[in-house]
Amino acid sequence: MTTRPETEKLPFFLRPTGLALLVALLTALKLFAASQAHFVEDEAYYRIWGLFPALSYYDHPPMIGWWIALGQALFGDTILAVRALVVASGVVGSLALWRTASLLFDRRVAGWAVLFLNTSLLVGIGGILATPDAPSVLFWGLSLWALAELSCSRNANWWLVVGLMAGLGLLSKYSVLFLGAGIVLWLLWVPEARRWWTSWQLWAGGLVAVICFLPVLYWNHLHEWASFYKQFGRAGVSGLTAKYIFEFLGAVAGLMNPLIALLAVPGAIKLAGGLKSRETAASLLLLTVLPFLLYLLYHSLHARVQANWPAPLFPAFAMMAAVFVAGLPGRGGIWQGLARAGVALGLAVAVLVQLHAVWPATGQLARKDPTFQLRGWPEIGAELQSIAKREGASFVATTSYGLNGQLDFLLKDDVPVIQLTERIRYIMAKAPDPALFDRPGLYVAIERRDQSSNLAETFSTVEKLTELTRRVKGVPLETLNIYKIDGRTGPVLEPVLPR
């Protein structure tokens, strides 16, 4: 679906040199923010995964834990170490997207696609956060790149690369299973692609993907399929409702970058013409997206779709917008002006958000500020360190995995931090010595999640000491209750697999 002559001169900002300069500048900005801004709760939790690499984990497959472990091996137990490979993945993902779009369409589409992805709010601007979305986006995109190489070269050996990339994606997040369904749809729908059914490399590639996924299967086998029950139990468990679908669509448009999302719609419509005529490129792009998109729409008719879930689809959405803009005649009129405005908006927001993450411009937005999770933790850590020393605490207990992760990092050189509940989250680490709880400790809870009343069943002393307030520029964000606990009277830790 080449829309312009390949020989037509590209403006500087769409050429590889211009794109490389932009990605390099954005990467430098991300590295600065990644090393200076504190963790959000989930990142602090995943940091513990990195300290204890395992075959898999309760919440997700292990890839983000492995990435963090590698970062920690290189940079120590630091904030940058947790995020280092995530930032690097943005560079690799941009290169893969450029190559994919060049193969399936042309270099003009490729240039716009890279611009659109890097100025999206979730993938481009939020690309410092160490969550399972980062590797899932990367390996989904690399799978699509390998499929593009396969389609253009007709070399069946690319199926082995497809299988490897998809398998690594499955080690990142279970949602990559939907990519496999999309590949099957493409193989069934496009006559030219059906030849691959008789290729041994196709089946070998599938086997490679399964072999990559074996650690997750084995871990779940050992732990009563706990992770599968947690994640696959989400689908359609509630009745039908229209409450969440518009929230989902609005979140996708907002996090994609509203102006770029607007351009992706006519791009998808244009590609749908190629899908109808069973064209390889258009069908590949649309059908690999379709199963996951349909699932998300289905889920939104039953329950809330978390804003980060559609992240693996954003590179494809960026390509859809690029197909539309690159195919515009002449200078493209208002539509290309909209594209340029979308890129400018994304760049401006990228700079402002990354700088705001490090140096808050204001605290007046309080919890409405999307960066509020980053704020005030070093001060909380210093105050808790002082309280623990004063009270002779031998441990700090929590009942929230996010708070547990934050405090574990802040107090890593002082006292052990232990989540008493949901112990399956920490099964990869050695269980705390029960004798530890025979000495005084602290219980810390965010006020709205305080479970101190439950501790009276286990400790004879549960005494509230003080409250600490997390703040940004003097504005309160949330209150943490601090208790002294002592006199153990029974088992403290929740069973790993409660029945």
Tell me the per-residue pLDDT of 457-474, one tens digit each, with 9 for 90 and over.
899 999 999 999 999 999
Other Cβ atoms closer than 10 A to 215: 15
The pLDDT value recorded for residue 499 is 46
Residue 333 binned pLDDT confidence (cut-offs 50, 70, 90): confident
Cβ contact 421:399 at 8 Å = yes
Residue 307 binned pLDDT confidence (cut-offs 50, 70, 90): confident
The pLDDT value recorded for residue 186 is 98
The separation between the first and the last C-alpha atoms of the chain, rounded to the nearest angstrom, is: 56
The pLDDT value recorded for residue 234 is 64
- 7 or 289, greater pLDDT: 289
Distance between CA atoms of residues 323 and 108, nearest Å: 9
What percent of the chain has a predicted confidence (pLDDT) above 90?
87
Distance between CA atoms of residues 311 and 308, nearest Å: 6
Q: Which residues contact 227 (CB under 8 A, 6 or more apart)?
A: 56, 57, 58, 59, 60, 61, 216, 219, 220
Q: Please report the DSSP string for 46-76 in residue order.
A: HHHHHHS--S--SSS-SHHHHHHHHHHHHH-
Residue 366 binned pLDDT confidence (cut-offs 50, 70, 90): confident
Phi, then psi, of 102 in degrees rounded to 5: -65, -40
pTM: 0.95
Amino acid at 374: L
Strand order in the sheet with 475-488: 417-419, 396-398, 441-446, 475-488, 459-472
The pLDDT value recorded for residue 38 is 96
Among 36-50, 129-143, 223-237, the minimum mean pLDDT is found in 223-237
Tokens found for residue 245: 């679908």
pLDDT exceeds 50 at position 7: no
Q: Dump pLDDT digits (tens) for 200-228.
A: 999 999 999 999 999 999 999 999 999 99
Distance between CA atoms of residues 372 and 405, nearest Å: 16
